[in-house]
């Protein structure tokens, strides 16, 4: 039993996530049975991390120039010559399909007078600078030099575009500007094994929304990796969301928060029936008929999962009958340090949060909706761009999520404003939530790892990782 007197051990009343899994109508995959709680302390953090230009510039030097980061999906550069311009802070890279089965990434700058080579993503037969016309081949070697006779000093072998490291996993393309970085596989640690059951590669971009938010990128990210705000910000979700019954797990470079669906919040002041839970979950008004019905004795979780199975059946067939209710209903939000959030199981959501160009006071909140497909891979959806004053509901592809995100959107600029005016520090709310936030501030964590709720010491817990350990982060990351 957890000891509330020990830091990090207190927990909410109500059913635990693991107890909820015991009620599943299907076998639950081992990955959801893993538990890796960590107490990361409860120290305040200085608001300057979110507000100061100096901190932003330290992040550029010590974080963005050194870390593996999600740049694009492979499907966005499907054909030879297709490329994506990936910007992070004041840095810009060209991620290029340089040959069949080969992806390269280059600094997006001409070696002649420094003009940015590509302004937007697209497809090309060469990388030609719009200024004086120097060009480079798709593999980055020097191509054409206008008036070559006047460039006797140019040694072709020394004039290839500088490259940065590239790695792929699950259809995602990552880059790392640090030539001495560890391989992506090592950085990912056990993450691919967690997702082995949930094929991310076999999905396509059904929707992609990119919204400017007037807040530091970490303010925005942290608004989407804890559920403590649900009662205050999304009170309509309390009848069907176990907000404070979430399970928070932390590994080396990645973490996850699982917030169960189809179960009422312990913070709710009344006891909803299973019918109530279902109606709230599906956003059905009191005067409307439900389009998912409950069999006698059936739980809302099971009924909702059964309906989701039928939506997936045309794509993956009867395999859906082996998938647990939890994989359809629960919010399984993984975070790979520092800013990449692929949701686990059969949810389509992948988030990315980054500075809006070189402005540390605004951020880009991106939502990728990755859907399965059968037959030929559909073309990736075009990006919907939203400005800081646009509503998320203007992105039709978000459906009901648009209204929910707008509720978050009301907070984030006001958090940024408040941080610059009144708060000396950001105060952790609870040890549990703090862990989920702290995990994105520090990639590795010191201190002891407490026994889990079953009293097992860390070494006794089941882990999926089978090889190696994730490398230590450069000390600079722990700024
Ligand atoms: S700056 Fe690119 S060709 Fe001159
Ligand atoms: Fe929210």
pLDDT on residue 286? 78
- 358 or 448, greater pLDDT: 358
pLDDT on residue 445? 31
pTM: 0.89
Is the bond into 338 cis (omega within 30 degrees of 0)? yes
Reported as a single tens digit per residue, the pLDDT across 233-287 is 999 999 999 999 999 999 999 999 999 999 999 999 999 999 999 999 988 887 8
Which atom from ligand 1 is nearest to the alpha carbon of 117? 2
- 257, 247 contact by CB (below 8 A): yes
pLDDT on residue 473? 33
pLDDT on residue 55? 97
User: Taking residues 346-365, what's their average pLDDT?
Assistant: 97
Tokens at 111, concatenated: 């070696």
Q: E strands within 357-438? A: 359-372, 383-386, 425-426
pLDDT on residue 6? 75
Number of H helices, E strands in the chain: 13, 19
pLDDT on residue 439? 60
Q: Which of 111, 129, 136, 161 to mutate to test the pocket of ligand 1 (most atoms within 8 A of CB)?
A: 129
**Mean pLDDT over the full length of the chain:** 88
pLDDT on residue 459? 31
Long-range CB contacts (< 8 A, 24+ apart) of 86-93?
86/175, 87/357, 88/64, 88/354, 88/355, 89/56, 89/59, 89/60, 89/64, 89/354, 89/355, 89/357, 89/358, 90/60, 90/357, 90/358, 91/60, 91/64, 91/65, 91/177, 92/116, 93/164, 93/175, 93/177
The residue whose C-alpha atom lies closest to atom 3 belonging to ligand 1 is 132
Q: Which residues line ligand 1 (CB under 6 A)?
A: 110, 112-113, 115, 129, 131-134
Q: Which of 117, 132, 135 to mutate to test the pocket of ligand 1 (most atoms within 8 A of CB)?
A: 132
The residue whose C-alpha atom lies closest to atom 4 belonging to ligand 1 is 132
Reported as a single tens digit per residue, the pLDDT across 135-177 is 999 999 999 999 999 999 999 999 999 999 999 999 999 999 9
Ligand 2 centroid, distance to 233 Cα (angstroms) = 7
Asked if residue 4 has pLDDT above 70, the reply is: no
Ligand 1 centroid, distance to 128 Cα (angstroms) = 9
Ligand 2 centroid, distance to 262 Cα (angstroms) = 17
What structural domains does the chain harbor? Answer: 17-44+204-463 (3.90.380), 69-180 (2.102.10.10)
Phi, psi of 403, rounded to the nearest 5 degrees: -70, -40
């Amino acid at each position: 039993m957890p000891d509330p007197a020990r830091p990090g051990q207190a927990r909410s009343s109500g059913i635990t996530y693991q107890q909820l899994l015991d009620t599943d109508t299907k076998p639950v995959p081992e990955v959801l049975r893993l538990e890796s709680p960590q107490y990361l302390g409860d120290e305040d953090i200085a608001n300057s991390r979110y507000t100061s230009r100096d901190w932003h510039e330290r992040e550029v030097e010590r974080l963005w120039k050194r870390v593996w980061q999600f740049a694009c999906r492979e499907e966005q550069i499907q054909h030879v010559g297709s490329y994506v311009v990936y910007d992070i802070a004041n840095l810009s890279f060209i991620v290029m399909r340089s040959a069949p089965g080969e992806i390269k990434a280059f600094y997006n700058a001409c070696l002649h007078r420094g003009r940015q080579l590509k302004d937007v993503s697209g497809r090309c037969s060469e990388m030609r600078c719009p200024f004086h016309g120097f060009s480079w081949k798709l593999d980055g070697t020097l191509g054409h030099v206008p008036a070559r006779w006047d460039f006797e000093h140019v040694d072709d072998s020394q004039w290839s575009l500088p490259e940065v490291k590239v790695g792929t996993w699950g259809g995602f393309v990552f880059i790392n500007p640090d030539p001495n970085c560890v391989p992506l596989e090592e950085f990912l640690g056990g993450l691919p094994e967690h997702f082995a059951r949930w094929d991310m590669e076999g999905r396509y971009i059904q929707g992609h929304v990119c919204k400017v938010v007037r807040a530091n990128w970490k303010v925005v990210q942290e608004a989407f990796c804890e559920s403590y705000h649900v009662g205050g910000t999304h009170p309509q979700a309390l009848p069907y969301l176990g907000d404070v019954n979430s399970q928070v797990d932390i590994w080396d470079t990645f973490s996850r928060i699982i917030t169960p669906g189809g179960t009422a919040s312990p913070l709710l002041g009344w006891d909803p029936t299973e019918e109530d839970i279902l109606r709230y979950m599906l956003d059905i008004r009191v005067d409307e008929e439900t389009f998912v019905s409950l069999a006698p004795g059936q739980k809302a979780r099971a009924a909702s999962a059964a309906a989701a199975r039928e939506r997936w059946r045309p794509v993956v067939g009867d395999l859906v009958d082996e998938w647990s209710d939890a994989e359809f209903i629960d919010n399984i939000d993984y975070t790979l340090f520092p800013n990449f959030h692929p949701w686990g199981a059969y949810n389509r959501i992948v988030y990315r949060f980054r500075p809006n160009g070189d402005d540390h006071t605004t951020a880009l909140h991106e939502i990728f909706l990755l859907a399965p497909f059968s037959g030929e891979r559909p073309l990736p959806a075009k990006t919907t761009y939203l400005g800081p004053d646009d509503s998320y509901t203007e992105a039709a592809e978000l459906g009901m999520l648009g209204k929910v995100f707008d509720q978050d959107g009301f907070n984030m600029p006001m958090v940024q404003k408040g941080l610059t005016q009144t708060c000396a520090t950001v105060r952790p709310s609870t040890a549990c939530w703090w862990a989920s936030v702290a995990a994105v501030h520090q990639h590795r964590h010191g201190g002891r790892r407490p026994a889990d709720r079953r009293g097992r010491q860390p070494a006794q817990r089941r882990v999926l990782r089978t090889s190696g350990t994730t490398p230590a982060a450069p000390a600079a990351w722990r700024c």
